[in-house]
Amino acid sequence: MKCVWEHNGKDTLLYSVDYIGAYARGNSLEVAMAKMHAEIDAYSLWQGKEYKRTTDIEIIQEKNSDLQIADADSDILFDSEKAPFSREEYEELKTLVLKSATDFYALYASIPNKKESCLPYRKTFYGNVPRTAQEMYEHTKNVNAYYFGEIGIKADNEGTIYDCRKRGFERLERSAGFLDNPVIEGSYDELWSLRKVMRRFLWHDRIHAKAMYRMALKTFGSFGAENTFKFAID
């Protein structure tokens, strides 16, 4: 299993290269590695593809960062995210990114009270951590304009998470040479590419889908969709 390791000396983010958006966090590489197989099991079930479990994890890229890794602050560009797309590969990954938006909205819609939460207030580098389903949904949806904007595509956050993401792809596809996947310097000197944008959508959705699911179980005990989503995000 090929993985990319981003860390700041005390916290770790471990990303799968082949299962785009799958990740594990921990206060050490060993802790994150121990979580990765279960993460890929769940991700494969969500994706609808068979996972052939392997015992080996190979770190193929490493970045020592000064970011708040424990709060999922990340700026890494994978070496593999610099390659051009074939049309077939792009369409396959776009379908997965739109499926992620659809499923995230379905989870959000299943929460009985979207403004209720038993979670405590907590702050991170970007402000207050979203606590309620409404806050988690708005936060996750509203990266749309930012992510597309980092590769020069003017997008918006209007409508549902699926609607604004789909419009972003439509605008992207009207730009010449988008399949060439150029590396672009975006905000804060961070390097971006289309591949990175698509990985970040999947990764960011997954972070907040897990958080929303766990919050709903703690707050409501049972909310009608827990069995539907359990193995995909637990």
- Terminal-to-terminal C-alpha distance of the chain: 21
Report whether CATH 3.30.160 matches the domain 2-76.
yes
CB 2 within 8 A of CB 14: no
Instruction: For residues 9-21, give the mean pLDDT.
Output: 95
Give the containing element (helix H, strand E) for 145. Answer: helix 144-149
Angle ∠(88,89,95) on CA atoms, nearest 5: 90
The number of angstroms, rounded, from the C-alpha of 27 to the middle of its chain's C-alpha atoms is: 20
Percent over 70 (pLDDT), the chain: 98
* Helix, strand, or coil (residue 73): coil
The full set of domain ranges for the chain reads 2-76, 80-233
> Quick one: 80-233 is in which CATH superfamily?
dinb family like domain (1.20.120.450)
Q: Which amino acid is at 147?
A: Y
pLDDT 10s digits, 141-173? 999 999 999 999 999 999 999 999 999 999 999
Predicted local confidence at residue 151, as pLDDT: 98
Q: What is the pLDDT of residue 127?
A: 73
Count of beta carbons in the 10 Å neighbourhood of residue 164: 19
So what's the pLDDT on residue 161? 98
Instruction: Give 169: exposed, middle or buried? Use CB within 10 Å, 0-12, 13-18, 19+.
Output: middle
